[in-house]
Structure 1
Amino acid sequence: MLEPAVVEFLANSDVDWVIQDFMSFWLPQKARGLGVKSAFFSVYSATSLVFGGPPALLIHGQGRAKKAEDLTVVPEWVTYPTKVAFRLHEVMNEEDFLDSKSNMSVFERIGRLVQGCEIVAVRACSEFEAEPLSLLKKLYGRPVVPTGLLLPQNKRRREGDERWSELKRWLDDREEKSVLYVALGTEVALSPESIHELACGVEKSGLPLVWVVGRRAGPGSIPSGFESRVSGRGFVWVGWAPQLDILAHPSVGGFLTHCGWSSAIEALGQGRV
């Protein structure tokens, strides 16, 4: 339903370029017909894009995949050492990769978009992904421009935030680089069993820790008695948390996360691993 409105806008404007994500695969072709160039800006890493392969393979049957197991191994076109691949449970349900209305996979959308655009810009840098960026140019057959990691700037003032003030005081009392920060992103919903296993692990570690439990899990998901057992060395925060503030605090020395690219970039920006 977005297509007619976007085409009308482009037809009646002096736009030279359209910069877009992967969803609107139809846009480059429509833009070209109106004399407008297009760029695919990927917030995914170059490593992830390389895994998908060249556009022709992305479009025809999810790249090289004939069955789910095919996506659990490193592709044959990858020329550098890597272990990046899907886990089997991540690809067993095909609906995870399909648009239910168009019956078009995420793979095919990216493939059609890359074929239609003039350049691909990637939220990456050569210092971090030199080999994937170089290979991606060959796979895509068009310029691939690293934009840098685009570290977010933390400009929010939190003087009146009582929850943050409490956490900051707690962090201020810890030794430098002694605290493990545990946060699995806003979209990851762990099973109760996984949450209990994670709680058991961080409790046995003996480390000072800040554990941010997402809203999807809820306060009742924390194992009974966990907070009292880690009292004094553990701080549990339920709901959205100021991650940049936490990562920037001198007492934080490690980050246990789901490895989403945005969280990884925020950690890299603060020198956390």
Structure 2
Amino acid sequence: MASIPLEIVWQIFRVCETPTQSTLTRCCRAWHDFFNPILYQNDVRYHDSSSVFKTIANCREEEIALRMLKAAYKAGADFSASTSMALPELCHETMFSVTPLYLAASTSKGRIATFLLDHGVDVDGAPDYQLRTPLFISLMKKDSSTSLALMHRGASLESKAFGINALHQAAAAGLQDVIRYLVEERGIDINEGDRNGDTPLIHSMLSTTPKDMISHLKRYNADVNKPTTIEVWHVSSLSLACEEGLFGVAQSLLDAGADATGKPDRLVAGADPQLGSTKTKGIE
């Protein structure tokens, strides 16, 4: 292949469609070195840097993906841009607007997320179709390494759309190392309630390892008796566990010092249990 003059190959390359151009580029090292940068430049110019999104969404080898992203960046790709595409985690073809950092977070590619941040991407970015930031996406994916990388780079720890903070989501995901970082290094209150009053301990009951999470949170003095609010009642975590049939979790709560007398469960001040609503404005 290398014996064919590059000028002739260039004339062929110019009239080919992109898939054929890509094939020509892979025929030999000399052609690759010459044509590969042109492929990326054309992708940036005519296809809105589609290679960036396809690489992050589909390439399983992060080392290879990083080399491709470096080539795209050298060709002028804008890593802060968004595109419309069907999302990898959904089983239908509905199109959503996504950013490269969103894709990195949703596919648990922490090295790529760090690379994007190193190249000027906003760590919080544009919220996705469910109003989640990259940090909360990675927490929901139970990806502690990407989550920690984003937090170290200044990601917002609050999700105003859902009324929770990163500690609530980390507890629900069972991410003990993230909880350790948030409590020890960022000083988040272990007993802070979310918009509904649910503490990290109550969120931890949603995790796949609630018993371990209760023990872990207790090390940081989590209040196992701090209730949440459901309609017109203040309800303890122990009562919630029993109502849901989570008796192993209930035992763990008792071992952690939960009050078994039912005293934490009480009517919200000003509420009428017969009407199922409060007479005063709002719920405590």
Greater RCO, 1 or 2 (C-alpha within 8 Å, sep 6+): 1
TM above 0.5: no
Q: TM-score range by the shorter chain?
A: under 0.3
The structure in which a higher percent of residues are helix is: 2
The structure in which a higher percent of residues are strand is: 1
- TM-score scaled by length of structure 2: 0.23
- TM-score scaled by length of structure 1: 0.24
